[in-house]
Structure formats: structure tokens, C-alpha cells
Amino acid sequence: MQTIWGNLFKRRSCGEDSLKKILHNIPVFQDLTDRELLHIERILYRRSYKAGEVIFREGDPGLGMYIIEQGLVDITLASGDQKLIELCDGDFFGELALLDDGPRTATATAREDCRMLCFFQPELMDLLKVSPRLGVKVLLGLSRTLGERLKRANEYIQILKTVESDISDQRRMNV
């Protein structure tokens, strides 16, 4: 079962891809032309993380989104270290921070050495000024992605409510 943290649109096997192919498979960028993807490539930052290194912690201010070029990342809740999902090559996370610099809702930790592509909020804001058409395309992709995650979260909430109701009914019957 895939969680709201996973790539909802296309699940790939973990492995290496070209940068353009990786970006094109990210829903935020999937409608961009090759030329537009080149523009995005120029504003991405590359970062490396060692196994066990925290990328960000639950409660940290959000700065931007991360795309795993190579490696494995665990997304966990700090309360009890509950693992939400393991992400691999080509997966992405933290995209809400492109729109909202509020606190992170989970912790991201490199499970093994990782190479990441980082797209930060200031670069998105600059993109909107320099190339409004491209910036709007990115925002539309981001909106679709966040909308899909919200729909998935609502589905999980409904499932949990049903399970909770069933458990309550069973307890009443057993009393």
C-alpha cells in the first residue's frame, strides 16, 4: 500500500536515470518541455548526504523540495520514530515547502549515502519573476501534486474512521 508520501503518479523501480528523465518523471515538472527542463536544471542545487544524516527534522522550517538522484531516504514521524515510507532514486519529498515555509511535518533521513537535487522556494520565486510562464507551469504541477496528496490523505482518514467505528462497535458488543 502506497502512502501519501510516495510518488502517487508513477512508481518506478529504484535505479539510475538521466537528470532530464528524473525531472520529467516528477509530477511537478512532467508538463515541461525539454528546454524548460534545462532551465529548471540550472536552478537546482546538488547536495550529498551520508547514511544516517538527517536531511531535515520534523518541526524545522520548510525550505524546498528534494529529489533523490541516487540513494534511499526514510521519512519518519519524530513521535515514536514511526516510519512512513522509504523513498528511492527518482522519488521526491518536501514539495509543500515551495509554497509554505511552515514547519516540516516529518523527518527525512538518508538511509544510505544519497545524492539529491534540491529546489528551494527562493528559486521558485525568482523563476516566477524571470519566466512567469514557466513559473506558472511549475506551480500548476505543484498544485496537482499537492491536490493528489490531499485526496489520498482524505481517503486514509475515511479508512481510519471506519476502522475506529468498527472497533468501537465490537467493544460495545463485547461489554
User: pLDDT tens across 13-23, in order?
Assistant: 444 348 888 99
Output the domain CATH number for residue 77: 2.60.120.10
pTM of the model: 0.80
Nearest by Cα to 39 from 12, 20, 15, 64 = 20
Is residue 53 assigned to a domain?
yes
Residue 78 lies in a domain: yes
10 Å CB burial of residue 113 (0-12, 13-18, 19+) is middle
37, part of any domain: yes
Give the relative orientation of helices 132-174 and 121-130 as an angle to the nearest 10 degrees. Answer: 140
Residue 169 DSSP SS3: helix
Within-domain flag for 85: yes
Q: How far apart are CA 56 and CA 137, in angstroms?
A: 27
For helices 34-43 and 132-174, the axis angle rounded to 10 degrees is: 80
Average pLDDT over residues 108-127: 96
Residue 166 lies in a domain: no
**12 is a domain residue:** no
Overall number of domains in the chain: 1
Question: Does 105 fall in a domain?
Answer: yes
Residue 47's φ and ψ, nearest 5 degrees, are -135, 150
**69-83, pLDDT tens digit by residue?**
999 999 999 765 788
pLDDT on residue 97: 94
Is the separation of the CB atoms in 102 and 61 below 8 Å?
yes
The range of the structural domain enclosing residue 102 comes to 19-147
